[in-house]
Amino acid sequence: NQDDIFLLDVHTPEQKHIDGTDSFIPYDNLNGNISKLPDDKNQKIVVYCRSGSMSKIASKKLLDLGYTNVLNLKGGINAWNSYWGN
């Protein structure tokens, strides 16, 4: 719930999101949804999916698109739920 973090779910098919998720864009359709991403290429973006594999691909793509502060949630929503007990 930090204002300086843009939380992005990229899992296909769409899943239940982590509370506070800013946007859902399928990992293989980032180019077609640039308008859903922050305008500031230095904005911190945390990318997640179910297990971490799709978000890893999406994180690389975001870097290729010029975003400089991209973090992949290792283990995805599965790890998040394990940690937070959801």
Residue tagged active-site, from 25, 47, 49, 62: 49
Strands ordered across the beta sheet of 70-72? 23-24, 5-9, 44-48, 70-72
Residue 42: how many other CB atoms lie within 10 Å: 10
Does 64 participate in catalysis according to the annotation? Answer: no
Q: Which residues are catalytic?
A: 49
